[in-house]
Amino acid sequence: MADFATHELRGDGIVLRFLDLGGIVTAIEVPDRAGRIDNVAVGLPDHVWRARNAHYRFGAIMGRYAGRIAGARFLLEGREVRLAANEGPNALHGGAGEGFDARPWEVERLGEGAARLRLVSPDGDQGFPGRLEVTATYRIDEGPALRIDFEVRCDAPTVLNLTNHSYFNLAGAAAPSVRDHRLRLFASRIAEVDEAGIPTGAMAPVAGTPFDFLEERAIGERIDAARPHVTGCPGYNHSWLIDGADGRALRLAARLSEPGSGRTLEVLTTEPTIHVYTANHFDGSDLGAAGAPLARHSCVAFETQHLPDSPNRPQFPSTVLRPGEVFRSTTIFRFGVTP
């Protein structure tokens, strides 16, 4: 028997399902241009969530630190914090051990279209200092849209980086590829990284490169030329800096469309960056909930967050949270159709 429960939120033109395990979004059902309903959130069958999602992080809340930290260590107020490395010498998504994506969250229903999820992360969790009180609110908004609001308090100085790690295929969760999806990113610079996905510190203009989505283009048009191949797999696994982001106001970060179905997705966020990951490591050996192989480039994730390795990069937007402060962020996934 599964050791988690499924929750459902409904709104006009959208149905959302999620688990109390990791806050995992398992389904987002929306219509295409002909009114046909399909799930556009790619995920796993119910019976394998606990065993396999640590490999993929489908739909989960990532923490304490989404993304990579070089050397699995950083300095905080003059003291070295050491994490357990889980990707070579580096820490990915908080490092080894159970992250927020593998924890049971307390769920409070706020009506048919909203729920509040709560988690307490103790001092020393994944090696990070400070006790955290974390709230994630899932809400169905007009659009139709899924709105995710994070709110975090701590009792000692710490760092954090939270995101939702949902994967999308607007043709439906069983569709084989997103290479023909058309993408526009409202971001004129990218964080340059090495082959391990660690930022070099440079912010490179995207114009005229394979990372240039300033005008709408097919994801697959230049995907094979996007270098470096982070951790050896071709595709996008990089962070774009959202133009005009100030950490407070919602900004349009991405617009995605799928020509066949007519479905569209807009991503708005208060976060400074959007990390685009095109399922580069998927090898087709697992089947998704829709029964189709989880193959390379079969879906795309939009991780709204701060930059990787920010705790080691004082020139990056800060990820430090101190007692008395409240971390807040909002991301909206807004769906629609083209004629």
Catalytic residue among 93, 165, 181, 297: 165
Q: How would you classify the pairing of strands 37-39 and 25-31?
A: antiparallel
297 labelled catalytic: no
DSSP assignment of 15-29, as one string?
A: EEEEESBTT-EEEEE
Phi, psi of 221 (to 5 degrees): -60, -45
Selecting among 266, 271, 303, 306, the annotated active-site residue is 303
φ and ψ of 6, to 5 deg: -100, 135
The answer to whether 303 is a known catalytic residue is yes
Q: Are 240 and 185 in contact (CB under 8 A)?
A: yes
Reading the block at residue 261, the tokens are 């179905």
Listed in sequence order, the residues at least 6 apart from 86 whose beta carbon sits closer than 8 Å to its beta carbon are: 72, 92, 95, 96
d(C-alpha 53, C-alpha 169), whole Å: 18
- The token pair that represents 233 in the structure block: 């797999």
What three-state secondary structure class fits 230? helix
d(CA 164, CA 148): 8
Considering all CA atoms of the chain, what is the largest pairwise distance in Å, rounded to the nearest integer?
Answer: 59
Amino acid at 91: A
Active site residues: 165, 303
